Chain A
Amino acid sequence: MNQPQQHNRKIFGNIPYVAALVCFAALICGLLTVNYISQRSLQRANIQRVQQNLKERALTISYFFSERQKDVRELASSKVVTGFFANRALGMSMTYGLQASLNNIARLFERRVDISRLGTKALYSRLILLDSNGQALSGWPALDLPEYQSIPEEIDLKGAEVIVDSDAGGSVFFTYPVLINDKLEGYIRVWVNYRDLVDSLLGQPHGGLFITDHKRLVFQSQQDHLLLKSNILSELLRTDAKWPLELSSKAIFEPVVEPGQKDDTPYLLFFTNVPGYEIDLFLAEQSSVITKSHSFYLFMVILAILSMGGFLVVVAMLRANSKNLVLETSLVEAHKREKEVAEKKEELELIIEGTRLGTWSWNIPSGKVSFNERWTQMLGYELEEIDGTVDTWKALMHPDDLEMVMEKVQAHLLQGETSIYIAEHRLRHKSGKWIWIYATGKVLKRDSAGKPLLAIGIHLDVTARKEAQQELAKAKDEADTIIRNFLDTLIVVQRNLLIARVNPATCQLLGYEESELIGKPITMLFHDPYDLVKSVFSFYEESQKDVFNGRTELRNIELSYQTKDGSLLPMSVNISLLKDEAGLIVGVIAGAKDISHLKKAMDTVASQKEYIEHLFDVVPQGLITLTQSMEIIGSNRAFNETIRTWSALFNLTEQGFRSELLGKLQTSLKDKPQYVFTLSHNNISASFKYHATSVSTLAGIEYVVAISDITNERKDAAARKLLATVIEQTADAVVLTDIDGTIRYVNPATISHTGYSEDELIGTNPRIFQSGLTPVAVYKNLWRTILSGRIWSGQISNRKKNGSLIEENMTISPVRNEDGDLTHFVAIRRDITATVLLQRQLLQAQKLEAIGQLAAGIAHEINTPMQYVQNNVSFFERAFGDFSLLLTDYLQLQDAQGALLTEEARSHLKDIDVEFLMAEIPDSIAEIQEGIARVVKIISAMKVFSHPGSGEKIAIDLNRALESTIVVTTNEWKYVAEMVTDLDPDLPMVPCLSDQLNQVMLNLIVNSANAIEATGASCPDNPGRISISTRQDNDWVEIRVSDTGGGIPEALRNKVFEPFFTTKEVGKGTGQGLAISHDVVVIKHGGTIDFISDPGKGTTFIIRLPLNPVNNEVIL
């Protein structure tokens, strides 16, 4: 009995141990299960965290890209850039101005780089302005500027969007077109380096980060990452791989284990798309980093050991003291919690690190604050530069924010009114700029009195978001302002076609209050059919795609408003899409302009169009409108008529002639807005003048060209030109005056005839030519004649500019205009000075010849009676001698014998004074004889002098001719001068025209006598002297005629041989003597005539005649 009882007692005594063992085993199993579940949960949480983190990074990149798009749009629309293309379109050259425009663009780029930074690095690695062909025009940096860049194949000019692409150099670039008047002129392209982007925005990922663009790997954070060698990535990058849709469904991949790798830790591959772009992010993380799980077997061994240990402990506890067991359990629990806290802390640190948060921990009683490194970096400081006190934080805060922040701090920290402290405020960056901070915090510890002891929190740099918000708010304000102040109606319509906003102009025009329209269907505002209005305002919908060809905006849609009172208003409506930040269409904005006036105007225009077209046709000048490619868009009747006429004359088709004409136009139109050109064919020429006006503002029309057929005008002009040439080149002077006598035109002959310049003559009166020698009556007759419209002809003595006389034969004709009114007079003046001289010479010669003949006749008539007078006087002389002897003898006898004579005879003798007669009569007879001798001499000289020439040179005794001339001219000189001759007795006979040479000698002697007389110094007691000498000089004979007159002034010496020049008083000289002498000696004898003059002392004329004259000399 005892043994079974002892056995039972033993068995029952072990039951608690067994129960405890079973319970403990159950507990261990429970713990294992809980542990496994928590491990899995932690893994999932980590994976979700990493995935979430990656998505946030993708969002960051998306936002970053949108900012860059904004930048590139701003650059493309900046005035500096558009100005360059505008200047280029104006024709400016690089040399003169365009280069400066490009430099301005380079500086614009540089400024953009300066203000766009990622931390301390430049945000952009390159900015370039390209022309429409991809040629780089300007850029930053200026060095290594690529010459050409690829350009987008197609650009939607209406709704151009920024093109985002990546290159092989690890950069993403943004391209946006530069549009001027909806015309593509070039592109702005900017580059951002992925490495800079990742370093600055995403931080250093734990694992490998990969970026793909359109399935092209464009960036990897680690060049030799194991993933690059795996099949997974190559599988993903296959061009036919259907992702990201497929990929997104299995964002978490099974671990990839690379065979043979030292660290065979598997990887998890995370994936996300950058919203709005064909860019994807891949993050390869080691699974151990994510899961932090231990080997299951290790875990099981540890668990078994723990279980055994636990079992022993339980047994010991049961055996010893249950209190110890409870304590032990508490310690384990404490360890577990501590471990969880540590893990949680690690997780938190990971999150903080991943999200790049600044953290702070504030010991409130001491005022000390601990900041993490990120916090100090956020403000541009190193950790050690920041004094960890709450005053430091306050000092860095923007003064405007301090009060608000401190109120919130007080509300949470000190008074506990809020569960968490949240505020947004600004802190001053080391560089001085302000950055926006999103701050959260919480009190962790309070004392028993509720007084806070420790608070912690985070600071997040939200500057970019705040600036974006501010810009958005500003843009919204601007948009609101624009909408409010928009003069035309403006309506915002939601996608459900309900009105979301209207501006005051809409309400005023339609007569509604704003509240009456908001939320109402848009169709209610229009009179047009419901379906039409609906389709217009939902034109972007897929269902309308066929109708509106997928357009992104509608312009100039004509609809009619129906106002509240039912009246209709025709409107021109422009409708643009409204998109939200994600780029999704949320509705449209419609601007409408009242075109009722325009409609009326259009009606008027239409009615006027016909009128203008009619005018176009009736214009006598040819008119055409041309496209840029020189195609005729329109032509008027005159032009067509011209084409018909000349194509027939040229024997061409109308099309052929038109092409030829347009070809000519094309070559000259660009440079010459007006020009004259000629077409020739088969010796027929047609001249045209065109005037082109550029009208590029009219669609399709580049030029309006007026073409005139000026063939006839050109012929007329040619004829006029010929006439003008004749007038210009004629030897006669032509002077054109107006009817007041003011000179308006002179031809070159006038200038050469008169010595005046054109400037001196134009605008003056022809009186400038008057010499004073033409009788006034002549001028009176002249004016009377031409003013009555008749032609006057006559001879006038005028004077040149140098004072010399000019004889002119003048014909003055009146000029009448088309109405027959006198407008001008034209004078044709022929210089007849030489002719007049010849005429006068001829007249003089004829006069001299007549005088010579008369003198010869008189001499002959006188000579005969003088012969017998001389004979009779000689007889009387001889007879008186005889009679005197006889009378002397008789008287002597009377005296001797006396009384031979009667008383009466003696008385007669006494009366006649015989003695006196006897003494005087011989003297008287002698005087008679002398007188007769002189008469005979003069007659003889006259006969010699007046001997008519034969018209041929004959050798004469020049000395004898001179002596005869001296005798003939005795009366001219004998009262003022004595004549001294020094004639060479050996002078040979000189061949000459004796009569003309005698005249020369006579002129010189008379001039000498006049010169001496003019001095007034001569008198019988002190007469002047005329010296005449001859001598032979080799083959020449020289005659010198000198006088002691006043000499010839220096100023007049070059005029003495000019016709009609004289210094003698009026009526005494004709001014022809020396001119004729010059003509006779030089022209007719081939000799020379010159003079030496010493003013105040006298003049010597020197004539040299050749002894052997040339035979063919002209003899008149």
Chain B
Amino acid sequence: MKSKFAALLFFVFASACMIGHAAARDLADIKKAGVLRHLGVPYANFVTGDGQGLDVEVMQLFAKEIGVKYLYVKTSWKDVIPDLTGKQVESDGDNVKITGEAPIRGDVIANGLTILPWRQKVLDFSAPTFPTQVWLVAGPQSSIKPIVPSGSIDGDIAAMKRSLAGKKILGKNKTCLDPKLYFLEDANAVTSLFEGDLNELAPAVISGVADATLLDVPDALVALDKWPDQIKILGPISRQQEMAVAFSKDMPELRQAFAVFLKKIWQDGTYTAMVTKYYPDVFGYYPDFFTLK
């Protein structure tokens, strides 16, 4: 019992030491330390919060591939980039501003992080790992009606925006669901930034907090599965986007190692099997994305 307690103390101490380190580590440092720290925000089925999720499995496999242990470091949308890069950042449209320093707590971000222009200025992304798109989702009582698809994504987006005048739309700051990214105020929508987690957006509109919320496709699919008769998908608000694993810009070797790994699991079917487990519906919406590249 004593020895277990001592081992636990040592592990906590070692983790604290690793987490408190103030410099980004590349592949050699990670191998030397013997642990890959996966930064993840609990979100949809990418990181479910109970030790499961598509990105958790991918990162566990990646850690095994490079011969180190896996360590999950829980973070938040607000801190996820500072925790990787050591820089406090503030986005403004497609631009980003460095506003301060922060301790580095992890080696890689993987939790369905959408590739956005401003994020590309502070992060290096892997090859796209998951397709997405931002949809508007509402509760059944919402007065906004789903659009009739026109066959053109731009036409659908325009039709969606036309119905938002005066409607309260929820979004989430510093994420791919930031209303500013989609110019909703130009459509005379009343945008509101949600304080809770992304996973709570769907329940929020079900309970009538707003007329609709921005939600990316993976999360919308999870919500449809959880609340089959309580939410309605209204239509798209963005073109197709892509998610990827993010690295600090001073980690080229780790990113390259992941690129090799991703290609391998993509080609041998491992990745498709993982996606099927967590997002069985996504193939129906984006059939081309998961074909061999």
Query: Which A residues are closer than 8 A to B by beta carbons?
Result: 79-80, 82-84, 86-87, 90-101, 103-104, 107, 673
Contacts and interface: CB of A to CB of B under 8 A. Distances in A.
Contacts of B236: 96
Interface in B131-166: 135, 140, 143, 145-149, 156
B220 interface: yes
Given A86-B140, A93-B147, A104 B233 contact: no
27 contacts: A80-B228, A83-B227, A83-B230, A84-B228, A87-B224, A87-B229, A87-B232, A90-B140, A90-B146, A90-B232, A92-B146, A92-B232, A92-B233, A93-B149, A95-B149, A96-B135, A96-B147, A96-B233, A96-B235, A97-B146, A97-B220, A97-B224, A97-B232, A98-B233, A99-B281, A101-B228, A104-B225
A95 B233 CA distance: 10
> Which of A79, A87, A93, A97 has the most chain B CB within a 10 Å cutoff?
A97
Interface string B89-120: 00000000000000000000000000000000
B67 interface: no
B280 interface: yes
B141 to A, nearest CB: 10
Contacts of B146: 90-93, 96-97
B284 A79 contact: no
Given A95-B149, A96-B235, A97-B220, A79 B229 contact: yes
A93 B148 contact: yes
Nearest to B222: A100
Contacts of B234: 96
B285 interface: yes
A99 B232 contact: no
A92 B228 CA distance: 12
A93 B281 CA distance: 15
Categorize the interface residue count of chain B. Answer: 20 to 34
Nearest to B232: A90
B116 to A, nearest CB: 22
A104 B232 contact: no
A1049 B44 CA distance: 68
Contacts of A90: 140, 146, 232
B281 A100 contact: yes
B221 interface: yes
Contacts of B225: 100, 104
Interface in B251-287: 280-281, 284-285
Given A83-B229, A96-B146, A100-B221, 20 more contacts: A82-B228, A82-B229, A84-B228, A86-B140, A87-B224, A87-B232, A90-B146, A91-B145, A92-B232, A93-B233, A95-B149, A97-B146, A97-B232, A99-B281, A99-B284, A99-B285, A100-B224, A100-B225, A100-B281, A103-B284
B139 to A, nearest CB: 10
Contacts of A101: 224, 228
B245 to A, nearest CB: 25
A102 to B, nearest CB: 9
For the complex of A and B, the 6 pairs showing the least CB-CB separation, nearest first, are: A83-B228, A97-B233, A83-B229, A86-B229, A90-B232, A91-B146
Contact of B228 (A87, A93, A99): A87
A673 B143 CA distance: 10
Contacts of B229: 79, 82-83, 86-87
> Which of A98, A99, A100, A673 has the most chain B CB within a 10 Å cutoff?
A100
A90 B232 CA distance: 7
A87 B147 CA distance: 13
Interface of B: 135, 140, 143, 145-149, 156, 220-221, 224-225, 227-230, 232-236, 280-281, 284-285
B105 to A, nearest CB: 35
Nearest to A80: B228
Contacts of A95: 149, 156
Contacts of B232: 87, 90-92, 97
A95 B220 CA distance: 13
Contact of B284 (A80, A82, A96, A100): A100
Nearest to B145: A91
A248 to B, nearest CB: 48
A107 B232 CA distance: 20
Nearest to A87: B232
A98 B236 CA distance: 14
A104 B228 contact: yes
Nearest to B136: A96
A1115 B234 CA distance: 73
B206 to A, nearest CB: 13
Contacts of A83: 227-230
Contacts of B284: 99-100, 103
A89 to B, nearest CB: 9
A108 to B, nearest CB: 10
A680 to B, nearest CB: 27
Contacts of B285: 99-100
Contacts of A82: 228-229
A909 B225 CA distance: 142
A87 B220 CA distance: 13
B224 to A, nearest CB: 5
A703 to B, nearest CB: 14
Contacts of B221: 100
A86 B229 CA distance: 6
A881 to B, nearest CB: 100
Contacts of A97: 135, 146, 220, 224, 232-233
B149 A96 contact: yes
B280 A79 contact: no
A372 to B, nearest CB: 43
A754 to B, nearest CB: 29
B5 to A, nearest CB: 34
Contacts of B149: 93-96
Nearest to B228: A83
B140 A104 contact: no
Nearest to B235: A96
Contacts of B224: 87, 97, 100-101, 104
Nearest to B140: A90
A203 to B, nearest CB: 39
B226 to A, nearest CB: 10
Nearest to A90: B232
Nearest to B153: A95
Nearest to A105: B228
Nearest to A94: B149
Nearest to B149: A95
A103 B280 contact: yes
Contacts of A79: 228-229
Contacts of B233: 87, 92-93, 96-98
A79 B227 CA distance: 9
Nearest to B221: A100
A99 B228 CA distance: 12
A100 B234 CA distance: 14
A91 B148 CA distance: 8
A101 B233 CA distance: 11
B288 to A, nearest CB: 15
B213 to A, nearest CB: 14
Contacts of B143: 673
A794 B147 CA distance: 59
Nearest to B144: A91
Contacts of A94: 149
Contacts of A92: 146, 232-233
Nearest to A91: B146
A304 B130 CA distance: 93
Nearest to B227: A83
Given A96-B234, A96-B235, A103 B140 contact: no
A1019 B156 CA distance: 82
B44 to A, nearest CB: 13
A107 B145 CA distance: 28
Contacts of A84: 228
A158 B267 CA distance: 54
Contacts of A673: 143
B199 to A, nearest CB: 18
Nearest to A85: B229
